[in-house]
Chains A and B, each alone.
Chain A
Amino acid sequence: MKPFAYRRATDARSAVATVAADPDAAFLAGGTNLVDHLKLGVACPSLLVDVSDLAADLVEHLPDGGLRIGAGTRNSDLAAHPVVRAHYPLLSEALLSGASGQLRNAATTAGNLLQRTRCGYFRDATAPCNKREPGSGCPAVAGHNRHHAILGASPDCVATHPSDLAAAMVALDATAVVLGPDGERRVPIGGLYRLPGDDPTRDTVLAHGELITAVELPAPFGGRARYRKVRDRASFAFALVSVAAAVRMHDGVVEDLRLVFGGLAHRPWRAAHAEDALRGSAPTEVALRAAADAELLDARTLSGNGFKVPLARNTLVSVLRELTDGAAEPEDDA
């Protein structure tokens, strides 16, 4: 671990100015991801600007019926918030499926969204990794890739984004409020994340020094929602596949829906093809399978993650079957 300087920010503007001015500076919030990376030698900032004291842990109603969540709101607090539980249960469910109680107590909303993509080779400072050391190669392509991407990957990087919260936020059409040196801008969470392409070093579209100060949710989508996470153990594991889904039914037909996969790509994967296939249709078993297959048509598997294709399909179908409330009968495969 490299020695670093530490500064406690007292206001967002000066924190942004400080970090923006120093290419080796980084924001520190809950520290559940960055501190790991410091210890592993994966991140070596010379200055940490601690933003966890900024009064950014408020959850407030917005005039349009939406909700504004302060960036510093801890995962545990957000998951337990009565308004979130009542009107955005998808969010609570996603948060509570992530990490452990101890980590959720420390982790913040923005910090969760901005955790780095997850890959064992990225975390191993002795291994090549294009994300950590551009041009050094990607050992995951031919190596241990059980957890890696089947959608939107590139030859340079096959890592997946691990945030459950992010997948739910995309499904909820949330927007990040971002403060930069030149002022504030709004970035839909659906557009926050990048695919790796030929520059996997950046996970998001944020510029160095930009700080998420809040996340805004539109008025509730209505209907029924579910966050279903499938992983290698019952808790405290990253998703192999997750599905954030919200469905509004009308007269036995899918009126509108939002479907997002986690665990399949470098970013939360909005399943737009599947949504289009089902919007306005009766959710029969055949239709659900066809929608899932449409989304996974472009899946490209690696040596160890081929199972993610049937797993993603089955999980999506399973969740949609549940949300459409028996409108489609499960096949009896006895």
Chain B
Amino acid sequence: MTDQLTPNAIGRDVARADGPLKVLGAAPYAYDQPLTDPLYLCTVDATVVRGRVAGVDASAALAMDGVELVLTHENAPELSTEDGELRVLQSPEVHFRGQVVAAVVATTTEVAAAAAGAVVVTYDTEPFAVTAGSDPAGLHAPEKVNAGYPTDTDDGDLDAAVAAAAFTVDEEYTTARTHNNPLEPHTTVATWTGGDLHVFEASQSVFGARRVLAGVFGLDPERVRVTCPYVGGGFGSKGSPHAGAVVTVMAARMLPGRSVKFALTRRQMFRLVGYRPRMTQRVRLAAAPDGTLTGVGVDVVQESARIKEYAEQTAVAARMMYAAPNRRTSHRLALLDIPVPTWMRAPGEAPGMFALETAIDELAARVGIDPIALRVRNEPERDPATGKPFSSRHLVDCLHEGADRFGWYDRDPRPRSRRVNGWLVGYGVAASTYPAYRMPANSAVVRYTADDRYRVEIGASDLGTGAWTALAQIAADALGVPQDSIDLAIGDTRLPRATVAGGSSGTASWGTAIVEAARAFRDKFGRTPEPDDEVFADAPENTAAKDFALHGYGAQFAEVRVHEDTGEIRVPRLYGMFDAGRVINPRTARSQLVGGMTMGLSMALHEDSVMDTALGHTANPDLGEYHIAANADVHEIRADWLGIPDERLNPMGSKGIGEIGITGTAAAIANAAHHATGVRVRELPITLDKFLR
């Protein structure tokens, strides 16, 4: 158990500290920093999929007024990285269509763009493979999958369990390639002064960005400063710098003393900042006559880039969710000539819980019991994956409480049983889960300034989720002062070290460091400090992770309508009940959960990056053609929580809430669509053509 804070500021519905600045347009995002005579970068992107740059003719670009530099593989500085995504302009090789093959720096964005258009690049091309199954090299087993999980697991004898089962499910589920697409595109502003580098980077982790850039450029991290006070969303794509940051820093290095700015276009956001890869999961379930699971199997085949492996931990949730003695999971990659994928909100759990929770619904239908009852029947005592006890697990409470509040038991379980004004109506349910991570290596400073004010410093990032507000609430309770006595400083590597706003770990990780520093401050200086009294503290080790399985849970319910004539699908109601520990700020927490569910709705119904196999790139790379849910698609979405603190996790008793909201949503919607129509959709997105007759 950790020593819990006495809640006073935490738990309150506090408006965002940064709200007024953002509404006024006065919050300085990375690209908005005031600079003297900045220069602007525009990249030239490969128009072939695989091959080599045969020649670059930059003469016309260099002749244009205002052009300061054309960067190519022939004049680019040498980088000290083997990371295939970050080795920008290190060779003439082209690995995917849209790769940066040159860059222009000029005095205005317009000149830079015009000059980039005037750079003539010629290529020698080679045959390419851009879809899983088209690559003659076949599938590849990664050494491990994202977040360090084993690639394969095999417990008991799944095949025997399936052979002996009263009921089985053996189906394939496909999730689409989807793109993070935060409102703020990725931006980098870089300035070299002497041997020192200062970067404003739209980032979920200023320290992570510093570590990566220092490594790529062979620098002592102490000579690199990364600043980012505000972020306009990232969903994982700003978890680590990408090629755009590298090329900008590279260009700035060749123009010492000048600031070089780069903002990606929306179309570039579809190829240069990562995305969730397309994948297919074969799910096998085996059950006894009463629905007790005897076997769970998930085999994932996922696309990834040949130049940098990324294996999403898709089957990991299935190792833990339900009690079944026989379990087998595997992850395989098709390594292709495509852009490098990366983290997108709940990597692993988002696609994994679509497949598993749809399969569970299919099993419930075959067994002939309510899908909630099936889940309850298979609730494990201990974590099946590790054998450890759960620090807390309230999935069954979420299912029961959620079912009551949603009105689940009003439904006639038979498919196609309800019809309203030409619309078929159905209800669906699915479970949600996401690990309760807390990262090591976080520190904080607490300083008494004067007049009852405390400055609290940590190099955390607020990617739009509410860290500016929630961390001040935590600091206030840790110091035993009102929230408005706290002056928070985040978003700069000059502050104490902090880990990523990712893995839903930010509040737990940073908050623990702040609490540690605040308690040390009180121990040392008591309640009546002198101005400039200061304490620095490291967060304590996360001992709970050794002894317990740490996860959040939830239950999501969907009402879906499918038009009988046109197949149009609408979701008038989504309801989520979450086991998220103690909630620090109900307002920003609800935004996170409802936002995650909205993104889950979008994943279910809309998002689909279509690979053109002839051209070798995404055929719909803008928000006109790549649909995300629009306002009219989002009707009633509600999120509630049980509010049971998990005192083993951290002094706040909180679990991360940034990602769990997107997990299970697509399955709840697919299950509801099946209940409405009798049509089982196993390939996302769920579009109207799948219901047409």
> Quick check: B620 and A237 within 8 Å, CB to CB?
no
Pick the residue among B570, B606, B613, B614 that contacts A232 (CB under 8 A): B606
**A123 and B117 alpha carbons, distance in the complex (Å):** 16
B687 (CB) vs chain A CBs: closest residue: A232
> Quick check: B614 and A142 within 8 Å, CB to CB?
yes
Residues 93-134 of A contacting B (Cβ, < 8 Å): 120-121, 123-124, 126-127
The answer, yes or no, to whether B386 is at the interface (CB within 8 Å) is: no
Residues of B within 8 A of A123 (CB): 622, 625
Q: A3-B114, A144-B619, A317-B565 are in contact. Are A311 and B627 (CB under 8 A)?
A: no
Residues of B within 8 A of A317 (CB): 565
A-B complex: 4 closest residue pairs judged by Cβ atoms: A307-B689, A235-B632, A144-B619, A234-B632
A126 (CB) vs chain B CBs: closest residue: B47
Residues of B within 8 A of A307 (CB): 688-689, 692
Pick the residue among A235, A311, A333 that contacts B630 (CB under 8 A): A235
CB distance from A45 to the nearest CB of B (A): 15
Residues of B within 8 A of A235 (CB): 630-633
Residues 78-123 of B contacting A (Cβ, < 8 Å): 110, 113-114, 117
**A234 and B613 alpha carbons, distance in the complex (Å):** 29
Pick the residue among A3, A143, A237 that contacts B614 (CB under 8 A): A143
Residues of A within 8 A of B15 (CB): none
Annotate B386-423 by CB proximity to A: 1 below 8 A, 0 otherwise: 00000000000000000000000000000010010010
The answer, yes or no, to whether B636 is at the interface (CB within 8 Å) is: no
B628 (CB) vs chain A CBs: closest residue: A233
The answer, yes or no, to whether B155 is at the interface (CB within 8 Å) is: no
Pick the residue among A3, A41, A233, A311 that contacts B567 (CB under 8 A): A311
The answer, yes or no, to whether A15 is at the interface (CB within 8 Å) is: no
The answer, yes or no, to whether B615 is at the interface (CB within 8 Å) is: yes
Residues of A within 8 A of B633 (CB): 233-235
The answer, yes or no, to whether B693 is at the interface (CB within 8 Å) is: yes
Annotate B355-376 by CB proximity to A: 1 below 8 A, 0 otherwise: 0000000000000000000000
The answer, yes or no, to whether A1 is at the interface (CB within 8 Å) is: yes
Add 13 more A-B contacts to A144-B610, A235-B630, A318-B422 (CB < 8 A): A1-B110, A124-B621, A139-B614, A143-B613, A232-B606, A234-B630, A235-B631, A307-B689, A311-B688, A311-B692, A314-B692, A317-B565, A318-B565
Annotate A291-313 by CB proximity to B: 1 below 8 A, 0 otherwise: 00000000000000001001100
**A215 and B633 alpha carbons, distance in the complex (Å):** 33
> Quick check: A236 and B630 within 8 Å, CB to CB?
yes
> Quick check: B632 and A233 within 8 Å, CB to CB?
yes
Residues of A within 8 A of B612 (CB): 139, 143-144
B610 (CB) vs chain A CBs: closest residue: A144
**A310 and B422 alpha carbons, distance in the complex (Å):** 17
23 contacts between A and B (CB under 8 A): A1-B113, A3-B114, A41-B117, A120-B619, A124-B619, A124-B621, A139-B612, A139-B615, A143-B613, A143-B614, A143-B615, A144-B612, A144-B619, A144-B620, A146-B610, A232-B687, A233-B606, A235-B632, A236-B630, A310-B692, A311-B688, A315-B565, A318-B566
Residues of B within 8 A of A334 (CB): 416, 419
The answer, yes or no, to whether A240 is at the interface (CB within 8 Å) is: yes
Residues of B within 8 A of A127 (CB): 615
The answer, yes or no, to whether B458 is at the interface (CB within 8 Å) is: no
CB distance from B417 to the nearest CB of A (A): 9
Residues 600-624 of B contacting A (Cβ, < 8 Å): 605-606, 610, 612-615, 619-622
Which of A146, A230, A234, A318 has most B Cβ within 10 Å? Answer: A234
B612 (CB) vs chain A CBs: closest residue: A143
B98 (CB) vs chain A CBs: closest residue: A126
The answer, yes or no, to whether B152 is at the interface (CB within 8 Å) is: no
Annotate B567-590 by CB proximity to A: 1 below 8 A, 0 otherwise: 110100000000000000000000
**A314 and B691 alpha carbons, distance in the complex (Å):** 12
Residues of A within 8 A of B570 (CB): 234
A309 (CB) vs chain B CBs: closest residue: B692
Residues 638-693 of B contacting A (Cβ, < 8 Å): 687-689, 692-693
> Quick check: B629 and A240 within 8 Å, CB to CB?
no
**A311 and B47 alpha carbons, distance in the complex (Å):** 36
CB distance from B44 to the nearest CB of A (A): 11
Residues of A within 8 A of B620 (CB): 120, 144
